[in-house]
Amino acid sequence: MPRILVSEELAESGLAKMRAAGHEVVVRVGLSPEELRREIKGAHALVVRSATNVDDALLAAGTDLLVVGRAGVGLDNVDIEAATRRGVMVANAPESNIVSAAEHTMAMLLAVARNVPQAHAALVQGRWERSKWEGVELFDKVLGVAGLGRIGKLVAQRAAGFGMRILAYDPFVSEERARAMNIELVDLDTLIEQSDFLTVHLPKTKETIGLIDAAAMKRAKNSLRIINVARGGIVDEADLADAVKNGVIAGAALDVFSKEPMTDSPLFGIDGIVVTPHLGASTTEAQDRAGDHIADQINLALAGDFVPYAVNISAADANETMKPYLPLAERLGALFASAAGADTTELEVIASGEIGAYDTSLLTLSAMKGFFGGRVDEQVTYVNAPQVAARLGIEVKETKVGGGSGDYVNLVTLRAGTHSIAATLVGQRRQARIVLVDDHITDVPPSEHMLVVRNDDRPGVIGVVGTLLGNRDVNIADMDVGRALTPGTALMVIAPTAEVSEAVLDELRAAPGIIEVIALRG
């Protein structure tokens, strides 16, 4: 039973999902780093929020760890590079809190525009200060959105409802996509210079830390108000405090800080600055959603399935054309591992047809996952498959062939040495079919146990094979006979209902007309 360690509070619905999948779920909240390193031994998955520091030392202690799940969006507290190096998948729940974060951004936007917290504090202290806390309208103001991802897009949609004009900076968004949302794309300098309000929705990286600093604020209108509900440190807090205090810009609203928890900052006590203690995801709905979403990712990872929100797998965002071929490639890899031979030094994964026009790296990883899963005792994942290949000294080559693929719209082919196998999906139900084995044309569904029998292309051999298997009580569920693309030999692909013993295989190899017998196990 896989063991899941949960180191921070998680919604009960998420815990229940993981238990329902048959996993042992151990909740240990408030452990010190040393205690956590002891507790993680034997755990296959670790679920955290923002407080647990998942560093290389913790990952090293988790020798059985397959996946780290962050119940939320940000991954500042997870060493993704170290996890990838150790073959540990890292997944998050990027859509769990986007509505809550967007709504909190709007709350901060309105609060800083109308001085709501300052006026509230004055009134409860007995001061009626209407004129002191005069604000500004949002209507017809320019909102600059730095980062037009999931949350930035929702904020832009909501701000448009207030009659704001939207500019955005995002180097990864096309002008056509922005235009469809009635948003004008500009560079960062233009965004800062033209905005009345600037809201930050960028990831925290080496490039974005301190991105909005004193120099940037000097280029802005003195009426600018900055909102940051993304990640602390993107806006330089010391520079921001000086800029608001000295009238360089009008104000700011921050929900996140360079260090958290933050209880003492030069930002605190400045009239034009509104602060909250990282409340962007602090809604009942977001907390429940985060627990549910990360539970789904953990269950998928432990089952060896495709994990859509894995952040350290290249091309993890597989398109709809590619997705149905991922399990096919994995199954093909598992079957082909038996045929390739122990001395294999190279594995080629070929994607032909429509799928060949896309990024096929995830398809290659799927084939590697199946292929190496049958060769090593450890569980092979999308993350550690390349490392397993390197350890075994097997070079994996990825080949893409776009356009037509002969008789098939799409074809996945694996080659190693003199052996090859190819499969596709057919019909409305997209049923899997093995259509080529060692360049012999065939048509048979993949099965858990299969026999590949290469024989002389002459009468009577099929009868010999059938009679021998029948006499040894081997029941055949499926069978197809294929001729070679060049005449001379034929090939039988047989799917028995159970594994065939080595004694029967040896007897089959000794039968007249039989050239080679390979047992495939997938």
Tell me the pLDDT band of 171, cut-offs 50, 70 and 90.
Answer: very high
Distance in angstroms (rounded) separating the CA atoms of residues 235 and 212: 5
Kindly state the average pLDDT of the residues 486-512. Answer: 90
**Active site (annotated) includes residue 38:** no
CB under 8 Å to 90, separation ≥6 — which residues? 67, 68, 70, 75, 78, 80, 83, 84, 310, 311, 312
In this prediction, residue 428 carries a pLDDT of 81
DSSP state of 347: E
Given the residues 12, 34, 260, 285, select the one marked as catalytic: 260
Q: Which domains does the chain have, with CATH numbers?
A: 3-96+285-302 (3.40.50.720), 98-275 (3.40.50.720), 315-433 (3.30.1330.90), 438-522 (3.30.70.260)
- Write the pLDDT tens digit of every residue in 43-66: 999 999 989 999 999 999 999 999
Task: Check residue 318 and give its pLDDT.
Answer: 64
Q: What percent of the chain is predicted at pLDDT more than 70?
A: 98
pLDDT of residue 434: 94
Of the residues 165, 201, 225, 231, only one is catalytic, namely: 231
pLDDT of residue 98: 94
Range from 117-121, 213-217, 429-433 carrying the lowest mean pLDDT: 429-433
483 pLDDT higher than 80: no
pLDDT, average across residues 495-504: 93
Span 318-368, pLDDT tens digits: 677 888 999 999 999 999 998 887 789 999 999 999 898 888 999 999 999
pLDDT over 70 (residue 469): yes
Angle at 218 between CA 215 and CA 223, to 5 degrees: 140
Spacing of C-alpha 354 from chain mean position: 23
Among 47-51, 280-284, 426-430, 467-471, the minimum mean pLDDT is found in: 426-430
Determine the pLDDT at residue 486: 63
Alpha-carbon distances, residue 434 vs 332, 425, 482 (angstroms): 9, 9, 11
Can you tell me the distance from the alpha carbon of 368 to that of 366, in angstroms, rounded to the nearest whole number?
5
Which tens digits make up the pLDDT trace of 254-299?
Answer: 999 999 999 999 999 899 999 999 999 999 999 999 999 999 999 9
How sure is the predictor about 315, in pLDDT bands with cuts at 50, 70 and 90? low
pLDDT at residue 339, as a whole number:
86
Residue 137 in 3-state DSSP?
coil
| Cα three-residue angle 169-173-176, rounded to 5 degrees | 110
Query: Does position 384 have pLDDT exceeding 80, yes or no?
Result: yes
- Please tell me the predicted confidence (pLDDT) of residue 341: 78
What local confidence, expressed as pLDDT, does residue 314 receive?
Answer: 64
Confidence of residue 164 (pLDDT cuts 50, 70, 90): very high
Inform me whether the pLDDT recorded for 131 exceeds 60.
Answer: yes
231 is catalytic: yes
The catalytic residue among 177, 278, 375, 483 is 278
pLDDT at 404 over 80: no
pTM higher than 0.85, yes or no? no
Q: What would the mean pLDDT of 404-422 be, rounded to a whole number?
A: 86
pLDDT at 403: 67
**Contacts (Cβ under 8 Å, ≥6 apart) of 79:** 54, 55, 56, 59
- Note if 278 is an active site residue: yes
**How confident is the model at residue 60, as a pLDDT?**
96
Residues 354 and 409 sit within 8 Å (Cβ to Cβ): yes
